[in-house]
Amino acid sequence: MKNTVISNKTAAYNGALIAVAGVFAYSFAVMLYTIIRTSVSICSIMPSPERSKILWASGFSVAYSVGVFSFLMAMVSSMAGAVAGVILRRVLLWLNPDVHLSKSILISSIVSLVLLLLLYLVLYILLKERITLQYAGTFLFWYVFPAVIFFIAVLIGGAVFSNSLMKEKTNKTPKD
């Protein structure tokens, strides 16, 4: 293979970093949704003078538990993101040697869908029918929403990698 700007180590690092950012972004959205939903419920049930301490305690407990869980998920996801980054890099170099952005995006989307299918198969083996549309809430929360984030991250990662390869290609001067 050619000596490229992005090595396997850099691809793994960037994949892990993007995975951790995705976990924290999703966790933040879930935390906000949960705090708002519980706060609305508390405000509709309790009288005004009594609810401020309950609102603080509820918000803190949700934020703490989401924070701890997202930290643990970030550690696991960083490993998966590193593997995905290296796989994406290798497939892009193998199938797109001429470095076309549209081809890179197509390859990135196919790589993303294949990896998501493999993840779904693993989850289905572990969780059986609990990760199907029979349990739509679980399926959406634990698979579909994170899968959308993953898909977008892989597309962006493939486009960025392709752009760096294009820059390297244009910066090289022909040898006499």
Sign of CA dihedral 64, 36, 32, 140: positive
Whether the predicted pLDDT of 123 surpasses 50: yes
Q: pTM (2 decimals)?
A: 0.82
Report residue 128's pLDDT band, with 50, 70 and 90 as the boundaries.
Answer: confident
Q: Give dist(CA 174, CA 176) in Å, integer.
A: 6
**Above pLDDT 90, what percent of the chain?**
67
Range of the domain at 118: 8-171
pLDDT value, residue 99: 85
pLDDT higher than 70, residue 30? yes
pLDDT tens figures, 80-120: 999 999 999 999 999 988 888 999 999 999 999 999 999 99
Mean pLDDT of 161-167: 86
Q: What is the count of structural domains for the chain?
A: 1
Whether 1 is covered by a domain: the verdict is no
Residue 102, judged by CB atoms within 10 A of its CB (0-12, 13-18, 19+), counts as exposed
Domain assignment present for 3: no
Residue 176 lies in a domain: no
